[in-house]
Amino acid sequence: MKKKIVFSGIQPTGLLTLGNYIGALKQWKKLQKKYFCIYCIADLHSLTIHQKKNILNKNILDVLAMCLACGINPEKSIIFIQSHVPQHSQLNWILNCFTNFGEIKRMTQFKEKIFLNKNINVGLFNYPILMAADILLYQTNKVPVGKDQIQHIELARDIAYRFNKIYGNIFTIPEKILNYNGSCIMSLINPNKKMSKSDTNNNNIISLFDNDSIIKQKIKNAVTDSNYPPIIKYDFKNKPGISNLLVILSNITEFSIEKLEKDFQNKNYNSFKESIVINLCLFLNKLRKKYFFYRKNEKYLKSIITNGAEKAKKYANITLKKVYNVIGLDI
């Protein structure tokens, strides 16, 4: 039987966080066993913030090397750079014309971004439609993402339904896949806010590049609560800090939350945090070793980029041709 298709993307902006790993990259690796996976480094999306040429070039290779370190296998899956496959921009324009202004105005991330950004460009507005083009080009069945992207996947589904209703079954309707034990890793200092790589306060995030002493410091400062006696229990509503740390530890060790709650029964927050530090340092050191192995071999990385774009174009072209045909553009 033909394998179902998984598609997802990640922006090459700044350092990746533990949130990116737990919410997305960890799933990306696992899904390769069962699905045909297509992963994209969304450089066009990153242009909504003005980028410096050399830094963007470097960030793209950094993220690619990190994807490989996290277990994305370019022999099994396609990994490519979004801008190298022009069909994304071509389908984007067409989908713009099938999307209502009001739909985009309601996007939560757009509303947050225009509130925070000085540079409110049209790309920010168009962002979710480009994401829809990314997904729909590959007849995607499943999209592994963190919780912050759910609304964008819903939009891609709505656009696909709308288009199919007019032109027949052109697009597969995609479904999200969440890591239910970690779909939204929260900030260490403010556990009611998402851990985000664009955060200006570095103490809120764990970067995949943080060294042992930085991790120790950040976990030490992570907000818990003042329960006495201390209780290490998942209860996000009343104990967001401890719950977030439990989710992090569970994802790094692969022990269930229930097991961790049992193991840390009657223990204090210090010993809980010590265990997190030990496990995180171990995990990130291993990951970084793999990362540096790939990152130093630019020739290999560039060959992956070239092959990835070539393969992706073949699939993307099939859908784009169908779209051009039903619309009447292929005379």
142 binds ligand TYM (CB under 6 A): no
Which of 5, 6, 11, 206 is the binder for ligand TYM (CB under 6 A)? 11
In the complex, the smallest distance separating the C-beta of residue 245 from ligand TYM, rounded to whole angstroms, is: 14
Taking the C-alpha atoms of 17, 77, 182 and 159 in order, what is their torsion angle to the nearest 10 degrees?
A: 100
Q: What is the 3-state secondary structure (H, E, C) of 258-297?
A: HHHHHHCCCCCHHHHHHHHHHHHHHHHHHHHHHHHHHHCC
135 binds ligand TYM (CB under 6 A): yes
- What the block records as the tokens of 258 is 């229930």
What DSSP line would sit under 167-183, residue for residue? HSS-SPPPEEE--TT-S
Which of 148, 154, 225, 261 is the binder for ligand TYM (CB under 6 A)? 148
Q: With contacts defined by CB under 6 A, name the span among 110-118, 143-151, 213-221, 244-252 that binds ligand TYM.
A: 143-151
In the complex, the smallest distance separating the C-beta of residue 7 from ligand TYM, rounded to whole angstroms, is: 6
In the complex, the smallest distance separating the C-beta of residue 27 from ligand TYM, rounded to whole angstroms, is: 9
Please report, as residue ranges, which positions from 192 to 211 form the binding site for ligand TYM (by CB under 6 A).
Answer: 194-196
Closest CA to 131 of 96, 80, 84: 96
Half-sphere exposure of 142 (CA within 13 A, CB side): 17
Closer residue to ligand TYM, CB minimum distance, 23 or 230: 23
Binding flags for ligand TYM, 83-102, as an x/- string (CB under 6 A): --------------------
Cα(126)–Cα(151) distance, rounded to whole angstroms?
Answer: 14
133 binds ligand TYM (CB under 6 A): no
Cα(213)–Cα(290) distance, rounded to whole angstroms?
Answer: 20
Closer residue to ligand TYM, CB minimum distance, 13 or 224: 13
Residues 146, 184 contacting (CB under 8 angstroms): yes
- CB-based closest residue to ligand TYM: 23
Cα(268)–Cα(255) distance, rounded to whole angstroms?
Answer: 19
In the complex, the smallest distance separating the C-beta of residue 328 from ligand TYM, rounded to whole angstroms, is: 28
24 binds ligand TYM (CB under 6 A): yes
In the complex, the smallest distance separating the C-beta of residue 330 from ligand TYM, rounded to whole angstroms, is: 26
Closer residue to ligand TYM, CB minimum distance, 150 or 231: 150
Closer residue to ligand TYM, CB minimum distance, 80 or 230: 80
Strands annotated E in the chain: 5-10, 36-41, 78-81, 142-144, 175-177
Angle separating helix axes 53-69 and 269-295, nearest 10 degrees? 110
Closer residue to ligand TYM, CB minimum distance, 230 or 240: 240
Cα(134)–Cα(162) distance, rounded to whole angstroms?
Answer: 17
CB count within 10 Å of CB 215 equals: 21
Closer residue to ligand TYM, CB minimum distance, 158 or 263: 158
Which amino acids are annotated catalytic?
Answer: 113, 194, 197
124 binds ligand TYM (CB under 6 A): no
In the complex, the smallest distance separating the C-beta of residue 184 from ligand TYM, rounded to whole angstroms, is: 5
Cα(49)–Cα(47) distance, rounded to whole angstroms?
Answer: 5
- What the block records as the tokens of 127 is 């962002």
Which of 38, 91, 131, 222 is the binder for ligand TYM (CB under 6 A)? 131
Question: Using CB under 6 A as the criterion, which residues of the chain lie in contact with ligand TYM when the complex forms?
Answer: 7-11, 19-20, 22-24, 42, 45, 131, 134-135, 143, 145-146, 148-149, 183-185, 194-196
